[in-house]
Structure 1
Amino acid sequence: MDFAFDARTEELRARLLAFMDEYVYPAEAVAEEQRAALASPWDTPAVVEELKAEARRQGLWNLFLPDAEYGAGLTNLQYAPLAEITGRSPHLAPTATNCAAPDTGNMEVLAQFGTEEQKKRWLQPLLAGEIRSAFAMTEPEVASSDATNITTHIERDGDEYVITGRKWYISGAMNPDCAIFIVMGKTDPDGADIRRQQSMVLVPRDTPGVTVKRAMQVFGYEDHSHGGHAEVVFDRVRVPVANLVGEEGGGFAIAQARLGPGRIHHCMRLIGMAERAIELMCRRAVSRTAFGKALAQQGVVQNWIADARVTVEQLRLLVLKTAWLMDTVGNKGAHTEIQAIKIATPRAVVGILDRAIQLHGAGGVSQDFPLAELYASARTLMLADGPDEVHQRSLARRELKKYL
């Protein structure tokens, strides 16, 4: 087995690491200072636009898209170590390189299922980083872990669809640059096949009847990097039938196609978050003394650091294997592994971040270190793109099927 990265990956890694050191890490504090002075907390700090311009100049742009017509043309295996690097600064680096959710998944949907007109109107500006987008699937009134529960209605009326429903935790919706929603709802609520009842439609944010009611916090954080999370009401919103994505009844399948790459992207970035936590743990351990010796000499601290390193190495190998399988046998062939990393990675990284917070004492839960915000992000990913328990259920069924 060859564990080496290919030449193109190594070259991009070197450039991206240098970009992180020279531009991204120094910009973290600057972005917070600038945000505090903005008229709206959802406005984009100037330094973020500067980072985007620099990343594009250096060719570190749209790295996530495997289709060379639209993106860098990298395989999942090539992109994995790059996403890990951006995960070390998850609230800046993905946005700076135009590789931030939910735009990544939305661009993949439009590239794969969009019409030529939809691509021209929405995909091209997203690829250029000129607008942002949101994916409206989760609802507050049903268990959205089961997507067949979705109650939003999409009814056809002549040449238009009429959309009525309420969504929440709609990532990106608070960003003033968010111009388009991909909305999932039911066009055939009484259909015999529960996985053919749903469809997806494109809804411009400024369409009458669309109301962004409020921002949804995550452990008290606004999560500006994704453009916030919002509760959104669609009150008899009318859009042309031409705004349908794919075909009627294809929404569930499109969602699955979208979430597969999304899940592995999250896991790639989570490993970067864990690496950042290990670095902060080590720096803290060698710089602080307690009970007569450095924290680095305390046995429990050494155990935390050693266990974290072992865990990260295990997770990285599983994620890379999953990326390789997605490239060679497709998302369906890698289904077991995608679910495995989705279960294992957020849980393990939450544990590493928890130890890093503990090692930093009060500083760990403060705004002076990135650990508390990293923890909130990692813990959220035990819910996002399907809660752990749903993936465990599906994975167990697949294993048991061999013996039934």
Structure 2
Amino acid sequence: MDFEYSPRVRELRKSLLDFMDEHIYPNEARWEAQVADGDRWEPPGLLAELKEKARTAGLWNLFLPDTYDRFSPGLTNLEYAPLAELMGRVYWAPEVFNCNAPDTGNMEVLAKYGNEAQQRQWLTPLMNGEIRSAFAMTEPELASSDATNVATSIVRDGDDYVINGRKWFISGACNNHTRIYIVMGKTDPGNANKYLQQSMLLVPAGTPGVQVVRPMQVFGYDDAPEGHAELIFDNVRVPADNLLLGEGRGFEIAQGRLGPGRIHHCMRTIGLAQRALEKMCVRAETRIAFGQPLSKQQSVREAIALSACEIEQARLLTLKAAAKMDQGGNKAAKDLIAMIKIVAPNMACAVIDRAIQIHGAAGVSQDTFLARAYTIARSIRLADGPDQVHMMQLGRNLSREIHERLNDGDNA
């Protein structure tokens, strides 16, 4: 298995490293100050400034697999992985390069499942970074980790669909520039096949009946200017032409969307953990306690060594999953995607926690990125399916496949 960077990736990676050093890290404090000043849901002026620089540098829309020839810059999942890792080192950086969730997943949905009119109206401005989007699946009254539970009602009424339901933790829905929601609900709740009950609709922001109830907080952060909204859909009426792919295809679309979304989360999370390790090492060499640097303490050395091992293990597993997706598609890589979704966020939580401990009180303060980084990593253990769901499905698949293989006489 060859994980060497291609010439193009080496060139892009160098450009991205330079961009992060010149434009992202020096502006972290400025970003926070601008978000805190004025309307929290209005992206800071810094964002538009940096987006233009990223586009000029050719660091734009790098995420979309090369199977989407019409819209893609031509990178494979494997080629994108080291670039996403670098972007993930600063939580707001991916948006600078138009590689941020949930927009990446929504763009993939529109590219793969949208018709020409839907792509023209919504995908083009998303690819241009002119608007934001949200993906509305999770509901507060039921276990949305099982997507077949989704209870939001979608009823056909003449040339329209009418939507009623409540969603929450809808990332991006608070942002003033969000213009479109992809909403999952049930068009055929009585269908004997529970995987054909759901559909997805495109709902423009501002449609009558769409109510943003509140921004949900995550460990006390409101994550402005993106936010994670609670939404009510109260007799929301949209044209039937806003249906994606067809009635009963919602679960299929969700599965197609979540595979790439999960691996992108893992790529970025590895970058966050790598940065925490680097900060840990600097702290260990420069902080004096009991008359010597922290790095002289055996427990600190072990924390650094163990963190480096865990990051590299997660990185290699993520690269293997990306390569499998490129070779056989998302379905062929489903077990590896489940593995990295279990491994990478748990690894990041452990590494960042060690970094916090080595930084002492500063580690939980606003003076380092570590406190926010920990909340991000911990949240990813729930995003796009909690650990337990991935372990349940992975264990089921492995048990069945290994049993069948051994029964076929392959005992090697």
Q: Hey, what's the Cα distance between the residues in 2 that align with 1:230 and 1:213?
A: 7
Contact 2:35 2:224 (8 Å CA) reproduced: no
Residue 403 of structure 1 deviates from its aligned partner by: 1.7
Q: Hey, what's the Cα distance between the residues in 2 that align with 1:229 and 1:33?
A: 20
Which amino acid in the other structure matches residue 79 of structure 2? Q
Q: Hey, what's the Cα distance between the residues in 2 that align with 1:208 and 1:37?
A: 30
Could you report, residue by residue, the CA deviation over 1:267-314 in whole angstroms, capped at 9, with x for unpaired residues?
Answer: 000110011101110111111111111011111111000001111111
Tell me the residue number matched to 1:78.
Answer: 79
Contact 2:215 2:228 (8 Å CA) reproduced: yes
What secondary structure is seen at the aligned counterpart in 1 of 2:331? helix
What secondary structure is seen at the aligned counterpart in 1 of 2:154? strand
Residue 222 of structure 1 deviates from its aligned partner by: 1.1
Tell me the residue number matched to 2:244.
Answer: 245
Tell me the residue number matched to 1:333.
Answer: 332
Q: Does 1:323 align with 2:361?
A: no
Which amino acid in the other structure matches residue 166 of structure 1? R
Tell me the residue number matched to 2:125.
Answer: 125
Contact 2:3 2:319 (8 Å CA) reproduced: no
Could you report, residue by residue, the CA deviation over 1:375-396 in whole angstroms, capped at 9, with x for unpaired residues?
Answer: 0000000000000100100011
Tell me the residue number matched to 2:407.
Answer: none
Q: State the identity %.
A: 59
Equivalent residues in 2 for 1:103-122, closer than 5 Å = 103-122=103-122
Q: Hey, what's the Cα distance between the residues in 2 that align with 1:43 and 1:367?
A: 22
Tell me the residue number matched to 2:390.
Answer: 391
Q: Hey, what's the Cα distance between the residues in 2 that align with 1:213 and 1:240?
A: 24
Residue 36 of structure 1 deviates from its aligned partner by: 2.0
What secondary structure is seen at the aligned counterpart in 1 of 2:219? coil
Q: Hey, what's the Cα distance between the residues in 1 that align with 2:80 and 2:314?
A: 16
Equivalent residues in 2 for 1:197-276, closer than 5 Å = 197-224=197-224, 227-276=226-275
Q: Hey, what's the Cα distance between the residues in 1 that align with 2:120 and 2:279?
A: 44
Q: Hey, what's the Cα distance between the residues in 2 that align with 1:204 and 1:16?
A: 34
Q: Hey, what's the Cα distance between the residues in 2 that align with 1:360 and 1:85?
A: 23
Q: Does 1:55 align with 2:54?
A: yes
TM-score (norm 1): 0.98
Q: Hey, what's the Cα distance between the residues in 2 that align with 1:68 and 1:22?
A: 32
Which amino acid in the other structure matches residue 271 of structure 1? I
Tell me the residue number matched to 2:91.
Answer: 90
Residue 102 of structure 1 deviates from its aligned partner by: 0.3
Residue 41 of structure 1 deviates from its aligned partner by: 1.0
Residue 71 of structure 1 deviates from its aligned partner by: 2.9
Q: Hey, what's the Cα distance between the residues in 1 that align with 2:336 and 2:261?
A: 14
Could you report, residue by residue, the CA deviation over 1:350-385 in whole angstroms, capped at 9, with x for unpaired residues?
Answer: 000001011111111111100010100000000000
Q: Hey, what's the Cα distance between the residues in 2 that align with 1:37 and 1:217?
A: 19
Contact 2:185 2:198 (8 Å CA) reproduced: yes
What secondary structure is seen at the aligned counterpart in 2 of 1:215? strand
Which amino acid in the other structure matches residue 370 of structure 1? F
Residue 324 of structure 1 deviates from its aligned partner by: 0.4
Residue 184 of structure 1 deviates from its aligned partner by: 0.0
281-290 vs 260-269, which deviates more?
A: 281-290
Q: Does 1:21 align with 2:13?
A: no
Residue 333 of structure 1 deviates from its aligned partner by: 0.6
Q: Hey, what's the Cα distance between the residues in 1 that align with 2:62 and 2:238?
A: 32
Could you report, residue by residue, the CA deviation over 1:24-81 in whole angstroms, capped at 9, with x for unpaired residues?
Answer: 111111111112222x111111111111110001110000012242131210000000
Tell me the residue number matched to 2:299.
Answer: 300
Shift >3 Å, 4+ stretches: none
Q: Hey, what's the Cα distance between the residues in 2 that align with 1:3 and 1:321?
A: 8
Q: Hey, what's the Cα distance between the residues in 2 that align with 1:4 and 1:384?
A: 30
Q: Does 1:309 align with 2:301?
A: no
For the aligned residue pairs, the C-alpha RMSD in angstroms reads 0.9
What secondary structure is seen at the aligned counterpart in 2 of 1:11? helix
Q: Hey, what's the Cα distance between the residues in 1 that align with 2:137 and 2:146?
A: 11
Structure 2: tracts of 5 or more residues without a match = 405-412
